[in-house]
Structure 1
Amino acid sequence: LQWSLRRATKAAQNTPQNAAELTMRAFIRMACAIRDEGIPAPLIINADQTQVILAQGTKSSYADTGAKQVDVAGQTEKRAFTLMLSVSQGGDALPFQAIYASKDPRRSLPKASSPGFTELVRQGHRFDVSGSSTYWATQSTMRSYVTHVAVPYLQRKKKELGLPESQRCILYIDVWSVHRSAEFRGWLRKAFPWLLLQYCPGGCTSL
């Protein structure tokens, strides 16, 4: 049949043509906020989300040798969750947030009896459900991350540095639709007005 094992094709994410300009603008916005508000390094958090695959649907199939386009059924059928990771400019790694696709924590989250679960919770790590059929970040998971991970860390650091509770801090995240939504930004301004949002330009996360 002249077949060979081939990987399915997928378009790569495009870096904006004006990436240098976009990243420079982001840098200047960050620098101005740090200068104007007198924000020390430990009060700047850089957070991002990554996909953790538990069971991956196959991306390979048999097709004609030399084929450039390969269709594969079931390649998007996978089991995964989102991991929210964050570090401070001061070099600290914050507790992670794991986001699972479900509306019911009892059905999707690790059981309390799972090895190491109690210790992870004690250390401040979060296990949240998305409230939907996907494991992507939602309004509720972002509020949970800010309230239970970012804010406790920043408040503790402000005390260590002898700074007032009103001291401004920065959360640097990407431009995911939930992150830049009016709903999330409005909530953050009311709940924690001292926490400033700064965004990594779209398509520039890996730069």
Structure 2
Amino acid sequence: IDQTNIVYQPENTATYEEVGSKQVTVVGQEEKRAFTVVVGISASGNALPFQVIYCGKTTCSLPSKSMPQFKKAQHLGFKLCFSNTDMHWSMFELMCDY
């Protein structure tokens, strides 16, 4: 079992403004939204479905069931979970659930 952090929109260090401008506005510099994906392999060598963990305390934190590819994710066995905290990390209870 392993887990990795996925950032929705990586921070961009490039900016564009006219040469000589005194100030350059950077949008989204402080915005760091992410989720965690837990992946695993069974003892028999089969890949297990992904567990995707979002920060939040209710199902409102999860992607909408009307999102594109939601049914495909369900068909593949993806487990979409909320962390029940303000973080998107996997906690003991979620690891046991996986």
Matches within 5 A, 1:41-80: 47-58=1-12, 60=13, 77-80=31-34
The answer for the alignment partner of 1:126 in structure 2 is 79
Query: What TM-score results when the alignment is normalised by the length of structure 1?
Result: 0.37
Task: Tell me the CA shift for residue 77 of structure 1.
Answer: 3.7
Q: Deviations over 1:155-190 (max 9, x none)?
A: xxxxxxxxxxxxxxxxxxxxxxxxxxxxxxxxxxxx
Please list every run of 5 or more consecutive structure 2 residues that lacks an aligned counterpart in the other structure.
Answer: 15-27
Rounded Cα–Cα distance in structure 2 between residues aligned with 1:82 and 1:129: 10
1:110 shift after superposition: 1.1
Structure 1 counterpart of 2:88, one-letter code: Y
2:11 and 2:86 map into 1 onto residues whose CA distance is 17
Which residue of structure 1 aligns with residue 19 of structure 2? none
Q: What is aligned with 1:82?
A: 36
Post-superposition offset of 1:114:
1.4
Structure number with larger C-alpha Rg: 1
Q: Report percent identity of matched pairs.
A: 38
Shift of 1:76: 6.4
Q: Please state how far the C-alpha of 1:125 moved relative to its aligned partner.
A: 1.2
* Structure 1 unaligned spans of 5+: 1-46, 62-73, 146-207
| Structure 1 position 99, deviation (Å) | 0.3
Corresponding residue pairs, total? 85
Find out whether 1:97 has 2:38 as its counterpart: no
Greater fraction of residues in helix: 1
Q: Select the structure that is richer in strand.
A: 1
CA RMSD of aligned residues (A): 2.2
1:142 and 1:76 map into 2 onto residues whose CA distance is 29
Report the TM-score, using the length of structure 2 for normalisation: 0.72
- Distance in structure 2 (CA, Å) of the matches to 1:131 and 1:95: 21
Is 1:109 the counterpart of 2:62? The answer is yes
